[in-house]
Amino acid sequence: MLFDSQQILDQAKQGDEKAKGELLNRFRPYLNVIAQRMLDDRLQGRMDSADVVQTTYLEASRDFPQFRGESIESLLAWLANILRNNVATAHQEHLVTQKRSARKEVVLRVASESGGSSLGMADLIPSESSSPSQRLMRDEAAVVLASCLDKIPETQREAIRMRYLEGMSLKSISDRTGKSEMAVAGLLKRGLRALREVMV
C-alpha cells in the first residue's frame, strides 16, 4: 500500500492535483484514529474528530507545495504535525478560552500508555528513535489498521478504539457507552471478527 502511495506522492509533488487529492484521502482514516486519540474527552458533544481531520486535510491540501519531504514516512509525519497543531488549537478554543481553571487545562495525551493490549500513540506516529525500516513498517501497519477500522460498523469500531487503542477496561467502556459489560464484550468480539475479515 505504501509503495503504491509513494508513486502517487511523486505525481502529486509534480503538480498533479488529482494525485494529491487521492493521496490525502488515502490517509484520512489514519488521521482520524490519531485525532480520536488526542482529543480531550471534554470536547465530546462540542466537536467531532472528523472536524479536526477535515481542517487538517484542507490545510495540507493548501500547503502541499511547501511540503519538502520525498517519502511517505515524511508525509505521515508532516500530516501528523498539522493534526497536532489543530488539536492544540481546538483545545485552546474550546477549553482554555471558556474560563476553565488553569489546573484543568488539557495536556495532550502522548505515548506513555502501557499494557499488553493497548497500541498507544507510539504505534501510530513515527518515532525519531527507530530506524527508517522500522518506522516504515509501523507506518504501513497503522495506515492499514486505520483504513480497515473505517470499514466496520461504528459501534464496533468505537469499542475497539477504546479497548485496544486507549487501553480502557470493559467497565470503563461500559460506563462511557451506557452498555452492559457483556454487551461491550460482544461488540468487541464481533468487531474483531469483522476486522479480521476486512484485513484478509
Write phi, then psi, for 26 (nearest 5 degrees). Answer: -60, -30
Q: What angle do the packed helices 181-199 and 132-149 form, to 10 degrees?
A: 120
For residue range 43-84, list pLDDT tens digits in order. Answer: 665 667 788 888 899 999 999 999 999 988 899 989 989 998
% of the chain surpassing 90 pLDDT = 15
Please list, in sequence order, all residues whose beta carbon lies within 8 angstroms of the beta carbon of residue 77, skipping any fewer than 6 positions away: 69, 125, 126
Mean residue pLDDT of the chain comes to 75
Is pLDDT of 110 > 70? no
Quickly tell me which residue has 470493559 as its cell. Answer: 170
Residue 168 has pLDDT above 90, yes or no: no
- Per domain, the residue ranges of the chain are 2-150, 152-200
CATH class, domain 2-150, is: mainly alpha
Q: What is the per-residue DSSP string for the chain? A: -HHHHHHHHHHHHTT-HHHHHHHHHHTHHHHHHHHHHHS-GGGTTT--HHHHHHHHHHHHHHHGGG----SHHHHHHHHHHHHHHHHHHHHIIIIITTT--GGG------S----TT---GGGTS--SSS-HHHHHHHHHHHHHHHHHHTTS-HHHHHHHIIIIIS---HHHHHHHHT--HHHHHHHHHHHHHHHHHHH-
**Cα separation, 64 vs 29, whole angstroms:** 19
For domain 152-200, the CATH architecture is Orthogonal Bundle (1.10)
The model's pTM: 0.55
Query: pLDDT category, 11, cuts 50, 70, 90?
Result: very high
Among residues 103, 153, 47, which one has the least CA distance to residue 39? 47
